[in-house]
Amino acid sequence: MLRRRKDFRPSWTLRQSEPIAGNYYPINSRAFIKDEEDQLTVVTDRSQGGGSIHNGSLEIMLHRRLLYDDVRGVAEPLNETSDIFPEGLVVRGGILLSLQPPPRAADAHRPLAQQVVLQPLLSFTEGELHPDTRLEFSGLQAALPPAVHLLTLTQWDEDSLLLRLEHQFQTGESKVNSEPVTVNLQKMFSTLKLLGVSEMNLSANQWKDEMKRFDWTPQTGEKPLLKEFQERSVWEVTLRPMEIRTFLLRVR
């Protein structure tokens, strides 16, 4: 998550001419304000705009409507109407609030945001269930660690699957979940037998051991020293905070 300060930009001296609009930022999934004792986090169900215009406050804009031209080039007011809403479009959304001490806040809002974005798709049908209908199913042998998110699981070819695992916590934001986590791929799935695994780059278009990375020169500070973990087997993979790893699994 990116830290925002009122009337401030980290890479240049800001001359603020729009005290409200200049302090609004996109909220993709969540935003929070905090002090030493409490952190208020809002989790949204869609992208919205937000800002902290006054100290200790957090405001969110779900829908923007103008009755007059704002002189921004379109030469018309931003006033959308329809037959259903002749007085202006109405947009409804859902916002969840979490109030936690800062050391425990991420343990609450990280999984909460995933639950909001990845809600199950419910479907219904009429009639009686077949006696052999399975009412419960899980493709996992057991729940993944709280810090690990199964980002991608898709068919690659006839006997292969593409798998991406994500460590969804940042360094230092959780005393429990901001540590490296090791997952055993062979013990992960309930209906698949893994025959082989190869790691790929994030885009899944190169083998990782053949990938050549750019040598970036940071503008501020020194290069981060990433601790290397010696994995005990090809099936055990370690994820560092905010790391995504991509694997091609050969299955049966």
What domains, with CATH codes, occur in the chain?
Answer: 21-64+79-117 (no CATH), 148-211+231-251 (2.60.40.1360)
Beta bridge pairs of residue 140: 189
Structure-model confidence comparison of residues 169 and 64, the more confident one: 169
Has residue 120 got a pLDDT over 90? no
What rounded mean pLDDT belongs to the chain?
90
pLDDT digits (tens, 9 = 90+) for 46-64: 899 999 999 999 999 888 8
pLDDT digits (tens, 9 = 90+) for 13-22: 999 999 999 9
3-state secondary structure of 17: coil
Label residue 5 by pLDDT band (50, 70, 90).
very high
Its pTM stands at 0.81
Residue 235: is it exposed, middle or buried by C-beta count within 10 angstroms (0-12/13-18/19+)?
middle
pLDDT in the model for residue 181: 95
Label residue 226 by pLDDT band (50, 70, 90).
low
Label residue 229 by pLDDT band (50, 70, 90).
low
